[in-house]
A and B are shown apart, each in its own frame.
Chain A
């Protein structure tokens, strides 16, 4: 009987992890994008400075150095792929669920066990279906996650075009 409990716990954790991981990867990607755009802006500022000041050689050297550092940082940020991050394979904090397992499944009486197991199954199914629903909404451009600008860009990309800056 205990293995049945463990299995329902496992399925629940798995569904939870898949949902959480997807969100966290998305968040990290957005963070990354933001950082890249900030750095690109900084780079543009430096290029402007280089063109408009009649400064000494030393200052120019300094600017070039800064530019190189920024370029390297941007490159490393662009190479960063959050889906390779192994720590995302684990839940951020699983202690509440462990506690729930203890109180809900271990300590429940034999008569109510059937019902408890059923409710864990329901929770798992809910998480899975919700995730699938989100994925499909995203696929068909119906979610509110994208701004109008991003939707236009996606539409343009679909027919092999790109929107101007």
Chain B
């Protein structure tokens, strides 16, 4: 059994040997590009909104039929009580790897306000 595996591997590596060396010569001149500037890593409001709405959609407690816009209110449109809202905000914190301070969290009532806070937080990923 093992011999058959070895055989197939050997034949594969032989076949690969030629094209990979050819690739190497061209690949050597490609400079790796890295961006340390803010623009490359910064979250756009659109990206934040899609991620937030994905999180809300994954929440079984929320009213899944509602369309999620920045004006969507957690309580009125999604039908979440205060404890559900807490759970949702915890999920958002985990998603973006941030801590929402208690005072700010009490003020967050709509999707738009949440997005605004995430965008203003420099630590969000």
Contacts and interface: CB of A to CB of B under 8 A. Distances in A.
Given A6-B86, A48-B4, A18 B94 contact: yes
Nearest to A51: B4
A13 B90 contact: yes
Given A89-B55, A89-B95, A17 B102 contact: no
Interface in B83-101: 83, 86-87, 89-91, 93-95
A6 B84 CA distance: 11
A134 B86 CA distance: 26
Interface residues of A, number: 22
Given A3-B102, A86-B55, A90-B59, A17 B4 contact: no
Contacts of A91: 87
Contacts of A13: 86-87, 90
Contacts of A14: 90, 93-94
Contacts, number: 55
B85 to A, nearest CB: 9
Interface of B is mostly: helix
B91 A90 contact: yes
Contact of B4 (A47, A86, A87, A98): A47
A86 B54 contact: yes
Contact of A9 (B54, B60, B86): B86
Interface residues of B, number: 23
Contact of B58 (A3, A10, A86): A86
A51 B102 CA distance: 66
Contact of A21 (B55, B60, B94): B94
Contacts of B5: 44
B107 to A, nearest CB: 11
A88 B57 CA distance: 12
Interface of B: 1, 4-5, 8, 54-55, 57-60, 82-83, 86-87, 89-91, 93-95, 102, 105-106
8 contacts: A6-B83, A18-B94, A51-B4, A86-B58, A87-B58, A89-B91, A91-B87, A94-B87
